[in-house]
Structure 1
């Protein structure tokens, strides 16, 4: 009511100070001020909540405009790059999720390759051997389709030889193990990125680190077969490497960060155990699997080729007995060799050993990178890192310390392996 009275007095004042030429307007304004309807206090209270809510909404909008201005760079308390960093991490996360599905699907496809090719090659080989046996049995039968059986057997043997050479070159079972490992590691990276987004404030360094890990995995486990396929019969067995190289920095020590002299010595002993026992053992097993795979890869096509030669010389007077042996026995032995190599997935076993050796090498480099960092504050927390190492090796903390103590006493003569998982 006080506001309405002030408005009425203001209107009367304006009327009294206006010029004589606007008398009609003064009359209208004066009458309006005189006949202004009275509003009760109860009616005014109806509008009060709406006015208060509108004012509070304007204040909130004003506050929001101060927090998120149109030009974020003008506010020193706002970090405009944070949204860009999150966007980059989400892009990397999307790419990693896509790679998980790609490696999983292609791994299933290559597993089907291994089963189907093995079945087809063995069927073709046994069919050729059967034809060769029938042909050798009817050499003395007049009018028998001897030449047809000989040509069919030779053709089947040649087809099996060509298919077997290709299969031995690409090693589908080994490819399946590569895709299986890649899918598992990409899932691990996916969970790592999600955790980093959820519980911390990512930086540009995190983006670069995630990008390097993705590219390192792409190099370690390529999807294409032509041009970039991993060498299936390398001259030397080396551990698989699927992590980016970490540069070591050297700065002054500033705090303990969960580390102690005893923990550092424990980690050095664990490195020794992993080097002389776990990694070397899997490298040695990988070399044996590689030699076996090479021998079987040569023996299979050689036997089918001999079977083709034997089938071609069936019913030849000077070479009849030897041709029959090569034609029949070559196919039978080739089927056995193929079953051992591809049914037993010798290539997959070699890749598994190589991957396990790479896992222990990665653990070594992870421990060494922490120990070489002189700035203890820049290391991973010592207690957390010790627990992570114990979990990766399938041991409790007390067992891990016992292994390190045993290594320090016996040196390279330690008998116990570092890992209890595999």
Structure 2
């Protein structure tokens, strides 16, 4: 009995210890939690009480700049301009693709109609068939009307306009992004961006009716896609500028070099593109008149009664074939696009001329762009290194002193 009682007590005590071990919960470790302090003032120094001690917090330069209302307004306006420019890039890109499709579809359709009508006229001379006669007359008439519209709007030239507008709007987009990345925009930057957007809208309009550029002007004129340069001719300002002592990277030698380079651009590059632009304009005018005239003659010849003679049909077939050839030369060769390309290149040199003249006419060197940076930019625009740019200027000076015409162009790109 005693042994049984002892075993019962031992078993009960062991079970109690097991229950106690099972329900014991370990203590959780303490994790220190620190919350960020919210500044209570936007002044230059914020004083806070931390555990009985004082700590001074100095806001960063970026935080201070964001408190400038003028700068914040300029940033917001520049971002708004950037969104508008990005939208225009997409618009001109899509419309350029659409007008390129117009050029291909209209060109193929008119040529197929003209060649089909010429074939029918040729068959009609062999077998006098009324259906061939009427069909060829209708096709020639329709081709004449389509050619008149096509030569009026010049789809290949419209496509090139949209390509140039897309490229220039992308360039403006990158410049605005660079201004924002540098982080010091001003109201002047905002006004400049808006003026350039409006100038590009005027130079490369999107609608056709009422706003389309003249495709056959009286003479070749370079494209202008930038706002007019504003110069300060105030006499007191000129006197103030002459008192400046710093040169901002400009030297008399660099100014002379820029004037010499500008003369090379005027005498060689600009004159050459003016000559080529006028030549392309004359060729395009001649082809635009000749195509509809020939298809009109073919329509008249195919509609005339033969009276036993095959000459009206032969003349209509020949005129139709020649019209198809001229149409292939004008629109297949995209003469309008070539003319627009010359306009754009002429505008590039005109902008370069105005930029150099405006920069050099500014008497205050501090208000100019840095001379070394300006020289590098001009060299890059002309596809040359800085050393090559200086060689062109010195070569012009040597040729000018000997009375010999310069035999080298300033640009290696256009």
TM-score, normalized by length of structure 2?
0.83
Q: Structure 2: how far apart are the matches of 1:77 and 1:333? A: 69
CA deviation profile, 1:375-413 (whole Å, cap 9, x unmatched):
110101000000000000011111111111122222371
- Aligned counterpart in structure 1 of residue 39 of structure 2, from 49, 53, 61: 61
Quickly say closer, same or farther: Cα 1:309–1:368, change in 2 above 3 A.
Answer: same
Q: Structure 2: how far apart are the matches of 1:265 and 1:76? A: 41
Q: Structure 2: how far apart are the matches of 1:80 and 1:369? A: 32
CA contact (8 A) 1:280 1:357 kept: no
State the partner residue of 2:14: none
State the partner residue of 2:256: 265
| 1:373 correspondence with 2:356 | no
SS of residue paired to 1:153: helix
State the partner residue of 2:302: 311
Q: Structure 1: how far apart are the matches of 2:104 and 2:67? A: 58
| 1:223 correspondence with 2:223 | no
- Aligned counterpart in structure 1 of residue 232 of structure 2, from 249, 252, 255: 249
- Aligned counterpart in structure 2 of residue 359 of structure 1, from 348, 368, 387: 348
Q: Structure 1: how far apart are the matches of 2:201 and 2:123? A: 52
Higher helix share: 1
SS of residue paired to 1:240: coil
SS of residue paired to 1:402: helix
Shift of 1:148: 2.0
State the partner residue of 1:10: none
Q: Structure 1: how far apart are the matches of 2:248 and 2:44? A: 39
- Structure 2: which 5+ runs fail to align? 1-29, 47-63
| 1:296 correspondence with 2:287 | yes
State the partner residue of 1:192: 175
Shift of 1:280: 1.1
CA deviation profile, 1:271-299 (whole Å, cap 9, x unmatched):
11111110110111011111100010011
Shift of 1:215: 0.6
Q: Structure 2: how far apart are the matches of 1:77 and 1:209? A: 22
Q: Structure 2: how far apart are the matches of 1:258 and 1:200? A: 24
SS of residue paired to 1:405: helix
Quickly say closer, same or farther: Cα 1:76–1:267, change in 2 above 3 A.
Answer: closer
Shift of 1:77: 10
SS of residue paired to 1:249: coil
Quickly say closer, same or farther: Cα 1:192–1:65, change in 2 above 3 A.
Answer: same
- Aligned counterpart in structure 2 of residue 416 of structure 1, from 405, 408, 412: 408
CA contact (8 A) 2:157 2:337 kept: yes
Quickly say closer, same or farther: Cα 1:97–1:76, change in 2 above 3 A.
Answer: closer
- Give matches, 1:300-339, under 5 Å: 300-317=291-308, 320-339=309-328
Shift of 1:63: 3.5
Q: Structure 2: how far apart are the matches of 1:82 and 1:305? A: 65
State the partner residue of 1:36: none
SS of residue paired to 1:413: coil
| 1:183 correspondence with 2:163 | no
Quickly say closer, same or farther: Cα 1:76–1:222, change in 2 above 3 A.
Answer: closer
CA contact (8 A) 1:150 1:314 kept: no
| 1:213 correspondence with 2:188 | no
Shift of 1:339: 0.3
State the partner residue of 2:23: none
SS of residue paired to 1:419: coil
State the partner residue of 1:202: 185
Q: Structure 2: how far apart are the matches of 1:285 and 1:219? A: 25
CA contact (8 A) 2:65 2:71 kept: no
Q: Structure 2: how far apart are the matches of 1:207 and 1:356? A: 27
- Give matches, 1:10-409, under 5 Å: 57=37, 60-64=38-42, 78-139=67-128, 146-250=129-233, 251=237, 252-253=241-242, 254=244, 255-317=246-308, 320-409=309-398
TM-score, normalized by length of structure 1?
0.81
CA contact (8 A) 1:133 1:328 kept: yes
Q: Structure 1: how far apart are the matches of 2:66 and 2:150? A: 62
Q: Structure 2: how far apart are the matches of 1:316 and 1:190? A: 68
Aligned length: 357
Q: Structure 2: how far apart are the matches of 1:134 and 1:77? A: 81
Quickly say closer, same or farther: Cα 1:77–1:115, change in 2 above 3 A.
Answer: closer
CA contact (8 A) 2:93 2:162 kept: yes
Shift of 1:84: 1.5
